[in-house]
Amino acid sequence: MTEVPRRTLRFLTIEQVAQELNVGEPLIRAMLKSGELRGIQVGGRGVWRVGIADLEAYVDEAYRRTTEKISRGDFAEAEVPEA
């Protein structure tokens, strides 16, 4: 029997994004409202969706900013995890 490939999701709900980043939904809503995280509103109720590519871009940018902060020594010793 031939298996049909599963379609990859293009968009995530706020709940899915929160789970992916291991944070609360209110934080994701605040990030969308501020523009820190790019998203779209869909339908008459204005339900938010975040593109997979937008989430990946946010994570890449967060890594870049974190690397810069560590290089500058902007973190207190207690904030930097042990290697």
- How do residues 3-29 score in pLDDT, each as one tens digit? 656 667 899 999 999 999 999 999 999
Query: Residue 47 sits in which domain range?
Result: 11-73
Regarding beta strands 11-12 and 47-51, do their DSSP bridges make them parallel or antiparallel, or are they unpaired? antiparallel
Share of the chain above pLDDT 90, in %: 66
**Total number of domains constituting the chain:** 1
H/E element, 26: helix 25-34
In a domain, 5, yes or no: no
* Phi, psi dihedral angles at 76 (to 5 degrees): -70, 155
Alpha carbons 20 and 62: distance in angstroms, whole number: 14
In a domain, 68, yes or no: yes
Q: State the pLDDT confidence band at 63, using cuts at 50, 70 and 90.
A: very high
In a domain, 3, yes or no: no
pLDDT at 8: 79
Q: Which two tokens stand for residue 59?
A: 């994570």
What average pLDDT does this structure show over 47-53?
Answer: 96
What CATH number has the domain bearing residue 24?
A: 1.10.1660
In a domain, 16, yes or no: yes
Which of the pair, 56 or 1, is modelled with greater confidence? 56
